[in-house]
Structure 1
Amino acid sequence: MVAVGYTLMTEQTGPKELVDYAVRAENAGFDLAVISDHYYPWLDSQGHSPYAWSVLGAVAHATSRLELMSFVTCPIRRYHPAVVAQKAATVGLLADGRFTLGLGAGENLNEHVVGEWPHVQQRHDMFEEALQIIRPLLDGETLTYSGNHFEVPEAYLWDRPEQGVPIAIAVSGPSSCDLAGEYADGVVAVEPKPELLQLFDAAGGTGKPRYGQFAICYGPDEAECRRIAHDQFRWTGLGWKVNAELPGPDSFASATQFVREEDVAQTVPCGPDVERHVAAFKKYVDAGFTHVAVVQVGGESQPMFLDWAREQLLPRLREL
């Protein structure tokens, strides 16, 4: 059975509310909660961006069953990889082994706050070095590392789960799938593309978890849902190559100024029809994903969505 996840979207909700929604999601019957790790929202209208790792610690303490995951953390600029390993180990302990460290190569939007955003090839090299640091530290090794981008004179994690912390890597093409196959315990993708999973399998990922994510905007008024989705989520159609390079919310607003409401509604199911949302989920099931997290667009709509998910959406997804 595919595990059903709920997204704690830091870009649209404050920290206390995120903790509350995680508890509600657990009570509603979700299997997994994933959290975005941003410094900025994509668009000003989203209006938030608390520190994901503080929220994760609070959620780990406030929940008891829900699997947790960073979705995803970039370990190449804003955070040194040795520090990423330390905080992942700490959250793993707080969550009693329920935490998976999701990693990706990041976006300029969040990482430029500490300096220049590197070229994509340099980012790829930095990301691989980061994995060479994080993986052995989480496995309990004492690490000395000297690379082209990172130095670790000596590091050891004094507090970590005995079983370690699983790592999942976000992928978008052959090179990232190769990295995931070599270093990761699972793979992350935000499009239901079976070819990505096939590349992951070919690189050594056969039998490992596959995490997907899709956005919806549930509500009783479809027209209002379409308006909210367009206002807050029109950036999703730009694609990873563009999203990774734009430096701030104003840039995303400019890049999406001609995106129409109907364009967003083609990719973000809107309104009260549960079958429309189930169909979006089913694309990931059919592609071979083992864990699929839903993003409910619109911060203020989360309590309503979670009640509806408990009563209508989750029972239908369990039938698939």
Structure 2
Amino acid sequence: MTAFGYTLMTEQSGPRELVAYAEAAERVGFDFEVSSDHYFPWLDTQHHAPYAWSLLGAVAQATSRVELMTYVTCPTVRYHPAVVAQKAATLGVLSEGRFTLGLGAGENLNEHVVGERWPAVGERHEMLAEALQIIRALLAGAELTWAGDHFRVDSARLWDLPDDPVELAVAVSGDASVERFAPLADHLVAVEPDAGLVSAWNAAREEAGLAPTRAIGQIPICWDTDRDRAVARAHEEFRWFGLGWPVNANLPTTEAFRAASQFVRPDDVASSIPCGPDLDAVVEAVSAYVEAGFTDVAIVQIGDDGQQEFLDRAAAPLLEKLRAAS
């Protein structure tokens, strides 16, 4: 049975609103909740970027059932991996074991703020692989001293750990990243319904003698009772989405995202993102992930405007349809 999640989009809502949405999402029946971890929104029109870890700490106390997850944190430039491990362990304790640490190679948009250079993709993957080893060791309770190619750790130890180690999920986008990260992580993260990616991940895990894992996807929608209003909102706040990962990972500012997406039309957005009141269209879009082998799919409802109405009016019947279809 596929699990369906709700996305806490830190780029489009303030922290207090996000905690309230998290409570409502648990009440209406979502299985898990994921939070983005950004320093910037992609576009100025989104208006927000609160600190994901403070938010998740509050959500851990405001909820009691849903699994929580970062989707995803970059543990290499803005954060040192030893500090990410400490944050993850603390959240694991606060949530009583409901937290999964989602990790990725990052975006220049969020990492450039600490004044370090933005590495090329190959180096970013090397850094992520090393960070995973550091985080894994610390979450397992090790006292760690590490001198690697990219990071140093001196006599680190985590003093507050959950009863069971926090599991790690890693974002991948192709064969090279699958081969590198499948043996190092517990679960796969991807934002496209690519069956080949899932099967390659599972094959790499099997070859390494490791158990099958979850495949956790994410899909944006823009539900509204008025389709034209939904399309306008999706275009205003999410037109960057179709630029693709190689572009999105390297643009440094909201101004760059605005310039890169200036020729994206509302119809372009509506052709790739379900917009309006038709829940069956959402189910059809999500079914691509289910058919590709994803075990978990998180829904992004675009825009703060109308978010509570989505949770109050559309979320429960949408979940009913999704579960019936899966």
What does residue 264 of structure 2 align with?
A: 259
Distance 1:142 1:308 in 2: 50
Alpha-carbon distance between aligned partners in 2 of 1:307 and 1:292, rounded to the nearest angstrom: 20
SS across alignment from 1:230: helix
Equivalent residue for 1:294? Answer: 299
Question: Which position in structure 1 is the counterpart of 2:148?
Answer: 147
Counterpart position of 1:225? 230
How many residues align? The count is 320
Per the alignment, residue 9 of structure 1 pairs with 9
Query: Which residue identity does 1:46 align to in structure 2?
Result: Q
Q: What is aligned with 2:53?
A: 53
Name the residue aligned to 1:174: 175
**TM-aligned CA deviation for residue 180 of structure 1:** 2.7
CA apart distance, 1:281: 1.1
Three-state SS of the structure 1 residue aligned to 2:118 is coil
- Identity, % of aligned pairs? 58
Asked if structure 1 preserves the Cα contact closer than 8 Å seen for 2:97 and 2:163, the reply is no
Query: 1:161 aligns to what?
Result: 162
- Kept in 2, the 8 Å contact 1:168–1:180? The answer is no
Task: Output the CA distance in 1 between the equivalents of 2:123 and 2:316.
Answer: 47
Find the counterpart in structure 2 of residue 75 from structure 1.
75
What CA distance in whole angstroms lies between the structure 2 residues aligned with 1:298 and 1:73? 22
Helix, strand or coil at the partner of 1:298: coil
Q: Distance in 1 between matches of 2:312 and 2:275?
A: 17
Shift of 1:175: 1.9
TM-score of the superposed pair, with normalisation by structure 2:
0.96
2:78 maps to a residue whose letter is: R
Query: One-letter code of the match for 1:247?
Result: P
Please tell me whether the aligned partners of residues 169 and 188 of structure 1 are also in contact (alpha carbons under 8 angstroms). Answer: yes
Aligned-partner SS, 1:300: coil
CA distance in 2 between partners of 1:179 and 1:9 (Å): 28
Output the CA distance in 2 between the equivalents of 1:182 and 1:140: 20
What's the CA shift for 1:116? 1.6
1:180 and 1:186 in contact (8 A); partners too: no
Stretches (4+) displaced over 3 A:
none
Q: Please state whether the residue corresponding to 1:168 is helix, strand or coil.
A: strand
Asked if 1 retains the 8 angstrom alpha-carbon contact of 2:109 and 2:253, the reply is: yes
Q: 2:193 corresponds to which residue?
A: 192
Structure 1 residue ranges without an equivalent (≥5): none
The worse-fitting range, judged by mean Cα deviation, of 87-96 and 199-208 is 199-208
TM-score w.r.t. length of structure 1: 0.98
Matches within 5 A, 1:21-36: 21-36=21-36
Structure 2, unaligned stretches of length 5 or more? none
- Cα distance in 2 for partners of 1:154, 1:118 equals 27
Contact 1:37 1:71 in 2 (8 A): yes
**1:267-278 maps to which residues of 2 (within 5 A)?**
267-278=272-283
User: Is the CA contact (8 Å cut-off) linking 2:29 and 2:316 kept in structure 1?
Assistant: no
Name the aligned partner's letter for residue 298 of structure 1: G
* CA deviation map 1:237-275 (0-9, x unaligned): 111100000001100000011111111111110000110
Deviation at 1:308, TM superposition (A): 2.4
The aligned amino acid for 2:76 is I
Contact 1:145 1:151 in 2 (8 A): yes
Q: Is residue 215 of structure 2 the alignment partner of residue 210 of structure 1?
A: yes
Whole-angstrom CA distance in 2 between matches of 1:123 and 1:180: 13
Q: CA deviation at 1:179?
A: 2.9
1:177-229 Cα shifts (integer Å, max 9, x gaps): 12331111100000000011011112116520110000000001101100111
